[in-house]
Amino acid sequence: MPAIFIDPTVPFSLEEFSRALQTGSSIRPSAVALSKVRRGFQNLTQVLDDPSRKVYGIHTGFGGLQGDQTPSDSLEDHQRDLVASHACGVGDLLEDREVRAMMYLRARQLSRGYSGISTTAFNAYLNALNSGKLPTVPSQGSVGASGDLIPMAHIALKVLEKIPKGKLGPRDGLSLINGTEASLAVSLLNWERAGALFDSALSTAALSLFAFSGKTEAWDPVFINLKKHREMAEVSGLLMKRLGSYRSRGLPQDPYSFRAAVHVFGGVLKLLRTAQDLLFKEADSVTDNPVILFAPSPHRPIAPSFYHGAHFHGLQVALAADMTAWAMNLLAMGAERRTDWLLSGRRLPMMLPAKARGSGLMMLQTVQGALVAENRLLSRPASADSIPSSANQEDFVPMAMGAALKAKKTAANAGRVVAIEALAAGRAVALGRSGAKTRLPSALAVFLRTIERAAGRALSQEDRDFSAAVERIAVILERAGQTGETFSKKER
């Protein structure tokens, strides 16, 4: 597998991100990245050559302890102690894929040269990323205010073990942990999953409309374009493309879960695109504090100088994660309502039993209800809360990691809810009006075959292992979804 070269001048892309997360991929610094890292360290050294300069996090304590002073002969111990004290996370471990994403994103940020990291520590970080044995990182503990200090420290602790005593730079510990990359990594992976599910959920909704003999009039682009929301127009086109020449002559109006599907999916698409914009820009941003600049400024001398601010504050990540959870909740609510109509007995056999006597899919809709109820709780914005920390020095925190973790659960729940809708729609086509399957539009026929392969006998037989079938369908829906088609670069 060709090496992936980190270049801070190249914008973040989903394609490279996906390649970087593949097992066996090798992440290397480009010549530009190495040059910027070296220049950043030189700038730091130049600042520290002035004995009158006292730099936060190097000569001082951290957070509420910033008034403490560190002797010049204890700077390395200060950095090692920082990392050791901050590696105190709790809870379930993050997945290896999430840890790898954290490390890749942090390496990209460090390559910009604003952190003052030494080349020794930078190369050690990349070696740890490429070693094939990733650090274990507990998922809970970060509030996303001074970046994700706690989860990032668990990685840094393992990196520093490989750097001999006396070789650590004066800011290396802080440089490795001071950023939003933990919540950003989890949020990006959640967003990618949500985008794929969105695409498959469109196909599922179209299959449900066909099985329910629903009307396409409310989805017609000529009608939808009366609303001036671009995402609605796009969704209309995507749904009608899936439905091909299908049209129904049923009742004038279907229930809202069918009739307003374009409006709901359009809103979901807008939320996911806004989240994408926030996350991609964060991935291209400097997330450290303080940062070292060497640039003329009307407020600073023309010399290396530290700027103290809050670029590690994760509110943008928290907002994106909250939007992703909100979008997945909306997606799941619509899927559950359409499933209920498929099982209602209104136009199809009640509960879609596969034999004369049986409960059919009745309890699967109950499962949907439980998942949707949980998602309603999970979709409350984490960023709406703030609990001050560090003796009130960090008095307004965004809860970015909490937002990312609950968005992960919301997306998983939504995937199962849509999987149940797909199972119900597939069975409804099989049990519905005579010859319905032979008249299925070609795009939906391909989609249904995918569902049939995943569902196995659960699609056509009673009292089968529905639990396993739902899990298989959920996985297939995520894999089948085309994130890139709907969320192209032009949307950033």
The mean per-residue pLDDT over the stretch 294-305 comes to 63
Over the chain, what is the mean pLDDT? Answer: 92
Residue 23's pLDDT band (cuts 50, 70, 90):
confident
The mean per-residue pLDDT over the stretch 38-59 comes to 89
Q: Give the pLDDT of residue 396.
A: 84
Q: Give the pLDDT of residue 259.
A: 96
The mean per-residue pLDDT over the stretch 197-203 comes to 97
Cα–Cα distance for residue pair 465/343, rounded to 1 Å: 19
| CATH 3.40.640.10 is held by the domain 7-66+73-179 | no
**In this model, does residue 462 exceed pLDDT 50?**
yes
Question: How would CATH label the architecture of 187-289+317-491?
Answer: Up-down Bundle (1.20)
Residue 62's pLDDT band (cuts 50, 70, 90):
confident
Condensed to tens digits (0 to 9), the pLDDT of residues 113-162 reads 999 999 999 999 999 999 989 999 999 999 999 899 999 999 999 999 99
Report whether the peptide linkage leading into residue 252 is cis, meaning its omega lies within 30 degrees of zero: no
Alpha-carbon distances of 471 from 145, 155, 201, 391, rounded to whole Å:
36, 32, 15, 46
Amino acid identity of 409? K
Q: Give the pLDDT of residue 487.
A: 73
Residue 74's pLDDT band (cuts 50, 70, 90):
confident
The mean per-residue pLDDT over the stretch 403-431 comes to 96
Length of the chain (residues): 492
Q: Give the pLDDT of residue 484.
A: 54
Residue 463's pLDDT band (cuts 50, 70, 90):
low
**In this model, does residue 165 exceed pLDDT 60?**
yes
Q: Give the pLDDT of residue 149.
A: 96
Condensed to tens digits (0 to 9), the pLDDT of residues 312-322 reads 999 999 999 99
Q: Give the pLDDT of residue 98.
A: 98
**In this model, does residue 29 exceed pLDDT 50?**
yes
Q: Give the pLDDT of residue 492.
A: 38
Domain chopping of the chain, boundaries: 7-66+73-179, 187-289+317-491
